[in-house]
Amino acid sequence: MKYITIATLCLCQIFYGEAFAPVKTEVATTTTTSSTSLSAQQISRRDAVSLASLATFGIVTSTTTNNQVANASGGATAGGAYLLSAKQRYNARVTAAVKGYLALSASLGADSLEETKAYFTVDEVGYWKDVTAAGYLLANAFRRSSTTPPDSLPSVKKWKAFAAEQENLQKALKKKDLKKVKESYEKSQPLLNEYLELVELPPTTEI
């Protein structure tokens, strides 16, 4: 019985090996030799287009992902071209958010918190949720070396100081403490100007 089983397995191996060997050989040849094309019986034109599309998609996705990671962190292109690129991407967003923030002085002066609530809850350019990323990434671009820790950059330190005061303001806002909201708002003004100076943007009086 043991020998019959072994013999059967051998026959199956020979049968399947002969049946599929040509296909495997041709596919391997196709993948390793760019000048060799498969016959029309083996692969249709639609399959060729699908394979080409998948290959292109994989290359584009990989390149895009790598670029996004490098750009977000500063990558190996700190300063120079990266700084210029960061300014192009984030200057307008930061400026828009600063304008929106400065506009809150009118509503706070009228003892209204509604506009301030909207500023911290709306997820669009010109509001806090957007500038939390844009403001930090712009500050992070002002580095001379890609190995410089972000927290050691003066621009990042100023951004974090301003952001910390925004957290205090939001805590007071949740409690509907108008007085503390106004206090935090006033305290944040010089911090904001210090940040704007280090990222080479105009002061609040000129925005």
For 120-131, what is each residue's pLDDT tens digit? 999 999 999 999
Cα–chain center distance at 31: 34
Q: How far apart are CA 206 and CA 196, in angstroms?
A: 11
**Ordered DSSP codes for 189-204:** HHHHHHHHHHTT---G
CA 116 to mean position of chain CA atoms:
27
For the chain, report the end-to-end CA distance as a whole number of angstroms.
92
Burial status of residue 114 (CB atoms within 10 A of its CB: 0-12, 13-18, 19 or more): exposed
Which of the 8 DSSP states describes residue 206? G
Q: What is the pLDDT of residue 144?
A: 83
Instruction: Report residues of the chain scoring pLDDT below 50.
Output: 2-77
Residue length, the chain?
207
**pLDDT of res. 146:** 81
**CATH of segment(s) 77-206:** 1.20.120
pLDDT in the model for residue 42: 38
> Which residues lie below 8 Å from residue 11, measured CB to CB, with a gap of 6+?
none
CA dist., res. 62 & res. 69, Å (int): 11
Write down the domain spans for the chain: 77-206
For 77-199, list the strands marked E by DSSP: none
- Note the Cα 168 to chain centre separation in Å: 27
Residue 143 near residue 153 (C-beta atoms within 8 A): yes
| pLDDT recorded at residue 80 | 80
* Type of residue at 65: T
Over pLDDT 90: what percentage of the chain?
57
* Cβ proximity of 55 and 48 under 8 Å: no
pTM comes to 0.62
- Token match 């006033």: residue? 186
